[in-house]
């Protein structure tokens, strides 16, 4: 469902054991471990060496894996991919989630410290016509919008259902790495309205996911870890313009 380059991934370069590896060993490999993300590394590394599956998003719009985990995708993943859950987000486009006054932690929508979303020649200003970007690029455009997180949450809920995670008395571990904040932050900067909008939406997405866990696995029947791999750096020119003694160095 993805390109060959996107699929040739595994934890072979991971030189440490992980909490998920320890769980697999502690349960004599009976507890399931599944990792997922929009990024290959975000799916593979948290799930460790012994994961049952790791799934990551392809620019084709499908969640893919590699033969390290299995020769054939589970049927529920194939069905999820065929339903093209990314398309409604593409067709709707991206506008502000809240009223403009909410975005008091951001600079103006079009400022000098933002990049361009997916090589668009238009200024980085909401709303975005995602259909145009999709037509000129591929389904990977959703990564650089808040909706990559929504798509991943839907996929995670489907995994819990179809893999029957948390249904018996042997602990399972699902790792979900939300990466759209990363893509948006790198492209548009930590003070962009787009990034604040992404976090406002992610907050609602996580709330929906927790409600789903409460209803399916049950309150007090699961343990939740919420952490981060890294953040977005301040734009150097923004700091310099505010009289910080720093200079941007060309790569």
Percent of the chain with pLDDT over 70: 98
The Cα–Cα gap between 91 and 60 comes to: 16
Given a cut of 90, whether residue 168 has pLDDT beyond it is yes
Say how far residue 241 (Cα) sits from the centre of its chain: 32
Could you check whether the bond before residue 127 is cis, i.e. omega within 30 degrees of 0? Answer: yes
pTM higher than 0.85: yes
Q: For residues 39 and 35, give the distance between their C-alpha atoms in angstroms, rounded to a whole number.
A: 11
Residue 2 pLDDT more than 70? no
pLDDT, position 131: 95
33 phi and psi angles, rounded to 5 deg: -125, 125
Nearest 5°: phi and psi at 150? -60, -45
Q: What pLDDT shows up at residue 63? A: 98
pLDDT of residue 243: 97
């Amino acid at each position: 469902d993805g390109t060959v380059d996107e699929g040739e991934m595994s934890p072979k370069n991971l030189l440490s054991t992980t909490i998920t590896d320890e769980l697999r060993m502690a349960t004599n490999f009976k507890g399931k471990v599944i990792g997922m993300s929009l990024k290959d590394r975000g799916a593979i590394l948290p799930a460790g060496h012994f994961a049952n599956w790791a799934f990551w998003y392809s620019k084709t719009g499908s969640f893919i894996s590699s033969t390290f985990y299995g020769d054939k995708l589970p049927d529920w993943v194939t069905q999820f991919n065929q339903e093209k859950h990314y398309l409604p987000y593409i067709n709707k486009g991206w506008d502000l989630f809240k009223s403009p006054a909410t975005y008091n932690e951001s600079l103006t929508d079009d400022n000098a410290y933002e990049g361009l979303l997916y090589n668009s020649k238009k200024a980085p200003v909401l709303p975005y016509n995602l259909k145009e970007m999709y037509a000129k690029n591929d389904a990977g455009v959703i990564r650089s919008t808040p909706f990559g997180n929504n798509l991943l949450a839907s996929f995670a809920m489907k995994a819990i259902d179809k893999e029957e995670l948390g249904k018996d008395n042997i602990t399972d571990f699902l790792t979900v790495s939300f990466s759209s904040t990363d893509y948006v932050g790198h492209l548009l900067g930590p003070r962009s309205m787009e990034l604040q909008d992404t976090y406002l939406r992610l907050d609602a997405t996580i709330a929906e996911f927790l409600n789903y866990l409460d209803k399916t696995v049950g309150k007090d029947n699961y343990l939740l870890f919420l952490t981060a791999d890294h953040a977005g750096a301040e734009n150097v020119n923004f700091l310099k313009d505010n009289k910080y003694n720093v200079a941007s160095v060309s790569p």
